[in-house]
Amino acid sequence: MSAARKLGILVFCGVPAIIGGGIVYAIFNDLTAIFIYETILLLGVGAYLAR
């Protein structure tokens, strides 16, 4: 996988991180929930990029 494609995937996954983080905060009103959500996203993207 080329470096440009990896960067494109990371940008594409940044949108759910920003928008989803706001939604999670609005629902739970807690920064711990955002940390858990962001960690799950990071693990998913990392697993995808590692293959």
Condensed to tens digits (0 to 9), the pLDDT of residues 2-32 reads 889 878 877 887 888 899 999 999 999 999 9
Whole-angstrom CA distances from 38 to 1, 4, 8, 25, 34 are: 24, 23, 18, 11, 6
The amino acid at residue 44 is G
Checking if the pLDDT of 49 tops 80, the result is no
The amino acid at residue 33 is A
pLDDT at 5: 86
pLDDT at 6: 79
User: Rounded CA gap, 50 and 10, in Å?
Assistant: 13
Q: Which helix (H) or strand (E) holds 22?
A: helix 3-28
